[in-house]
A = this chain, B = another copy of it.
Amino acid sequence: MHDPVTLLAALAEPTRLAALRHLNDGREHCVCELMALLGASQSRMSRHMLALRQAGLVVDRRDAQWVRYRLNPAMPAPVQRLVRAALELPPHTESLAA
- Partner-B contacts on A (CB < 8 A): 1-5, 7-9, 11-14, 17, 53-56, 59-60, 72, 74-76, 78-79, 81-82, 84-86, 88-98
CA distance A78 to B84 in the complex (A): 10
22 A-B residue pairs with Cβ-Cβ distance under 8 Å, sorted by A, are A1-B95, A2-B92, A2-B96, A3-B93, A4-B17, A4-B91, A4-B93, A5-B12, A5-B13, A8-B8, A8-B17, A12-B12, A53-B97, A59-B98, A72-B96, A76-B94, A78-B89, A79-B89, A82-B86, A82-B89, A84-B85, A85-B85
Copy count, this protein chain: 2
Tell me the minimal C-beta distance from A7 to chain B in angstroms.
Answer: 7
